[in-house]
Every structure is written in C-alpha cells, then in structure tokens.
Amino acid sequence: MDARYTLIDGLKRLLGDEQGTLFKQAPLKVALCYPSPYHVGMSSLGFQTIYRLIHQHPGASAERSFLPDDVDAWKKARLPPLTIETQSPVSAFDVLAFSVAYELEVTGLFTMLELCGLPVLREERGPDAPLIVAGGPITFSNPEPLEPFIDVLVQGEAEELVPILLEAAREGGGREAIRARLKDVPGFRCPGLSQEGTRFLVSKAGDAMLPARTQVITPHTELRSMFLIEPERGCSRGCHYCVMRRTTNGGMRTVPPEAVLGLIPDHARRVGLVGAAVTDHPRITELIQTLADSGREVGISSLRADRLTPQLVAALKAAGAKVLTVASDGASQRMRELVDRKHSEQQLIHAAQLAREYELERLKVYNLVGLPLETDADIDELVRFTTELSKILKVVLGVAPFAAKRNTPLDGSPFAGISVIEDRLERLRKGLRGKAEVRPTSARWAWVEYMLAQCGPEGGLAAWDAHQAGGAFSAWKRAFAERGCVPFVARRTVDGRRKATEWPTVGAQS
C-alpha cells in the first residue's frame, strides 16, 4: 500500500473514533497545531478550549494538526502535516496557532514548520506566509526562546484574546500588518515590534469563561475517552518552584459543582477533573461522589496530601480510582520547607494509610531532586521515609530533577549539575531497591529544559542549531556554548544589575 495513503488513512481513523469534532466553512482558516503527537495534544484542555472558541467566532474555523508519531515516515513520504478534520495541508491555512506546554516542545514546532516547507526563522518568511502564533502554558514562565520563530505570542489565559486575534487576522494585509495591529494590545507580544515591557505580561480570562472543558472525546489519548473539565483554575498556595502559584493571575478561582455537572454530556462515562489544585476546591468530595453515583469513572489531576480525608478517598474509590497520586516535591522536610510545600511526613503517611484502608493498589509520590541546598542527607531521608511508606502500601516514586522557572521565587537558582543529580538518583535507587519502584526523568534533558527556561531568544536559536545538528544531547551542549547562552540570573549578576540570588530562608513566605 502507498505510504502516503497509509499515513492519511491513520488520520481518518483517528477522526472516525472522535466524538464532538467541529466542522465549519469560514473565511478565516486557523490550523491549531500541537507540537507533540495526537495522544498528548488531545489531553490538553487548553488546546481543546481554543478549538471550541475559534469555532464560536462567526468568521473563523479551526482544524487540528499534531506532530506525527513517526516523523521519519512523513518525511520519507514527502507529506506535509495535515489536519485531522479534512486532511488538508496545514501550510494552506491563514493562521498556524501552536499551543506549547513546555520548553522541549520547541523542537516539535521546528519539525512541523519544516514539514510544512515554511522557513522556521520568522525573518526568513515572506509577506505571504501564514501568520505563526504561539501560546499555551509556557507563556506563564518564559516564552522568550520562541521569539525568533513566532509572529505573535499570546501570553497567559487565551480565552478573551482569541476573538481579538481572529479579528486582527481577518482584516488581512499580510503578516506584518496583522502584527502591527496586535503589537500594543495587552496580552499579545509581537517579537521585534512590541515594547520590552510587554514581556511576561500574562492575560487572565474573566470568570464567565470558566470552566474549560473537552470538546472532542477520543479513545486515542493517554486519558482514554475521558471528558476533561476544570472545576478550578489557578492555585492559592505558594510553592516556590511553581509557575501556577498564587501570584499568577490572582490565585484559585472555583466553579460550583452544579455548573461543572451541567456541562458534562450524558455520553461521557469517564470524567477527568483538571486544575492546578483540584483537591483545594471546597466542594470536591461532593463533586466526585455525585459523579460516582451517576456511574462515572473519575480521574483527578492533582491530589494534595494535606487535603485527603476518608470521605474524599472513599469517593475516589467509588469513582474507580486504583492509585492515589500525591506530590511531595522535596526529598526531606527541610527541602519541603525551603520550597514552601506545606505538608509533612505525617500527612503523606496518612495518605498511604487511607489508600490502604480503601483498598487502592498503590501510592504514587512525585518528588523533586536537585533543589538548592540539597545534600545527600536529604536523599537519605527520602530513602528512609519512602521505605516507611512502602511498609503501608506499594509505592512508586516519580522523580524529576529541579529546573528553575522564570517568574517564581526560585527563578535563577542554578541547576544542581547533571552528575550530581545522576549520583543522587543512583543513591535513591540503591537505597530503595526491593522496596519501591523509582521512576526518574533524565538529568540531561532536565538541564536542557533549565537552559531554555532561563535563557532568552538566544536559547531558542541554540535549540534550532541543536535540532538541525540532529538533536542529540551533545548537539544541545555545543549549541548553548556556541550561542553564548547564560542563564538570566548569572547574566544579571555579571551585569551588576541584580545581586546574586539569595535562597529563600527555610519556611519563608512569599
């Protein structure tokens, strides 16, 4: 069978398995692009929300496109990225709008533009090229590495910015004319045109726009056939490493359970409650119990150990939970206090006891290593404590190396070092052998993420160099060096405009 036919047929099969797909003819055509594969992108509530919002505009329509699972197969077949809805080439659309969740997805964006046959660098694209827009979670921390490639950045919560963007694009006149219309509009940033002061000014959607929710249900996502809805947005806590902390867009906003329930379609049998701090919703137990009573399965994105009660765990169990997942985010109590993560060993032990009492299969605990001031003694405390937890219930320990993000109190903290992190992960693995499963993410790629999170446009250019050189870790290392990339804090310190970062004192409030 012709390779092209097979690839296009794969898209048609994805489309055939969807519920809720939108079709529309309109003068302005937007290709909503996700720089990771379909099964990842379709789990993004923000992506799904923007899809619906574009369709609500009378003059615009949206079709979705994703980074292919097998990029080489698409290259070999000389196929450009196509949309799911009509299998049309993305490059024929007026606007390509990318949703970027985190730093390393920038290479997915490069690949999609290359497959389109479009120059990746903004300044190499001609006046008739489609408008390239980017938004998404990354704009809450550091979108600067995207600047060399993007015509318009949509910063922060995009719900109220979408109609403005669509109106500006509908007026036409080419990319530069559209950029000129948006360059001074709050929430937008047009690299090379907008004032410096518009960097990091993120937008906040009005309460009437909440809650975000799934438009298209598909079995082909990590959250198989799950209808996602957001009973709360933002967080009222202040963990020092977190971009979604209370200072971002004014803390947590909640949606009453009645409103959430009224938006869940009858055919949705699996419901995911999504948000930065869902268990901080004051009526979360009631919401989960009501969903369980209606025969639905419920998944929840963020459980806080200090919010778990017997009623809440019982409701989760009734709604089909098999695993209790909590974040510890500090190898020791000293580290948790350093990052203002407000829970104790006792609360984590209580979580494990509740999970056992309600016959869940295991406890999954997320942790960070490589925080400032961390030593081997903190890792030893984690080994000791995880061993205690594992006597209560089977434990899986997810471990991510700490990479400081802009716009957080730990912004500018140095990366602990690849070898330091690898040594600590080894210490952890050794200490927990036979007691708990340790699932770490890569120290090397965490360093790349750190560099992108802490650098400006030159970090993006280094990413482009590394991508062109094959994308291996050595290519990234070389590219950062050749582009002279220096994390922000070091640069400011050298410039003498800001003194060296002082780590927050233990237990400090922000």
Select the span of 32-40, 103-111, 230-238, 365-373 touching ligand SF4 (CB under 6 A): 230-238
Burial class of residue 2 (count of CB atoms within 10 Å of its CB; 0-12, 13-18, 19+): exposed
Decide if residue 397 touches ligand SF4 (CB under 6 A): no
For ligand SF4, the closer CB: 230 or 458? 230
- Tell which residue, 510, 144, 500, has the closest CA to residue 340: 510
Interface with ligand SF4 includes 239 (CB under 6 A)?
yes
Beta carbon nearer to ligand SF4, 130 or 272: 272
Q: Tell me if 244 contacts ligand SF4 by CB under 6 A.
A: yes
Question: In this structure, are strands 152-154 and 188-189 parallel, antiparallel, or unpaired?
Answer: antiparallel
Smaller CB distance to ligand SF4: residue 239 or 291? 239
Nearer to ligand SF4 among residue 223 and residue 239 (C-beta): 239
Under the criterion CB under 6 A, does residue 242 sit at the interface with ligand SF4? yes
Q: Residue 436: enclosing H or E segment and its boundaries?
A: none
Q: Where are the beta strands (DSSP E) in 82-208?
A: 95-99, 131-135, 152-154, 188-189
Q: Does 446 bind ligand SF4 (CB under 6 A)?
A: no
By the rule CB under 6 A, 307 interacts with ligand SF4: no
Angle between helices 162-170 and 175-182 (to 10 degrees): 140
Spatial separation of the C-alpha atoms in residues 306 and 299, rounded to whole Å: 19
| Of 69-77, 200-208, 241-249, 394-402: span binding ligand SF4 (CB under 6 A) | 241-249
Answer for the pair 336, 299: CB distance below 8 angstroms, yes or no.
no
What DSSP state is assigned to residue 156? B
Q: Does 393 bind ligand SF4 (CB under 6 A)?
A: no
Q: Which is nearer to ligand SF4, 62 or 305 (CB)?
A: 305
Site for ligand SF4 in 110-139 (CB under 6 A): none
Q: Is 235 in the site for ligand SF4 (CB under 6 A)?
A: yes
Question: Closer CB to ligand SF4, residue 96 or residue 368?
Answer: 368
d(CA 459, CA 480): 7
In whole angstroms, the minimum distance from the beta carbon of 237 to ligand SF4 comes to 4
User: 314-331 burial, b for 16+ CB within 10 Å, e for fewer?
Assistant: bbbbbbebeebbbbbbbb
Closest CB to ligand SF4 among 19 and 247?
247
Angle between helices 457-468 and 473-482 (to 10 degrees): 140
Report the nearest approach of ligand SF4 to the CB of residue 432 (Å): 24
User: Which H helix or E strand runs over 181?
Assistant: helix 175-182
Tokens 């790629």 belong to: 445
Cα–Cα distance for residue pair 371/324, rounded to 1 Å: 25
Please report, as residue ranges, which positions from 253 to 282 form the binding site for ligand SF4 (by CB under 6 A).
276-277
Using alpha carbons, list the distances in angstroms from residue 212 to 34, 38, 51, 335. 18, 19, 11, 34
Instruction: Check residue 284 for interaction with ligand SF4 (CB under 6 A).
Output: no
Q: Is 486 in the site for ligand SF4 (CB under 6 A)?
A: no
Residue 483 within binding range of ligand SF4, rule CB under 6 A: no
List the structure tokens of 15.
């489309």
Q: Considering the complex, state which of residue 189 and residue 364 has its C-beta at the smaller distance from ligand SF4.
A: 364
Of 346, 348, 342, 338, nearest to 370 (Cα)? 338
In terms of CB distance, is 268 or 368 closer to ligand SF4? 368
Q: Which is nearer to ligand SF4, 52 or 334 (CB)?
A: 334
* 11/239 with CB nearer ligand SF4: 239
Tell me the C-alpha distance between 280 and 233, whole Å: 11
- Is 96 a residue that touches ligand SF4 (CB under 6 A)? no
Residue 237 binds to ligand SF4 (criterion: CB under 6 A): yes
Does the footprint of ligand SF4 cover residue 467 (CB under 6 A)? Answer: no
Two structure tokens written together for 141: 């921390």
- What is the distance, to the nearest Å, from the Cα of residue 482 to the centroid of all Cα atoms in its chain? 29
In the list 245, 281, 406, 467, the residue contacting ligand SF4 (rule: CB under 6 A) is 245
Stretch that binds ligand SF4, among 115-123, 206-214, 235-243, 309-317 (CB under 6 A): 235-243
To ligand SF4, the closest distance from the beta carbon of 425 in angstroms equals 21
* Part of the chain binding ligand SF4 (CB under 6 A), chosen from 3-11, 56-64, 218-226, 242-250: 242-250
Site residues for ligand SF4 per CB under 6 A: 235, 237-239, 242, 244-245, 276-277
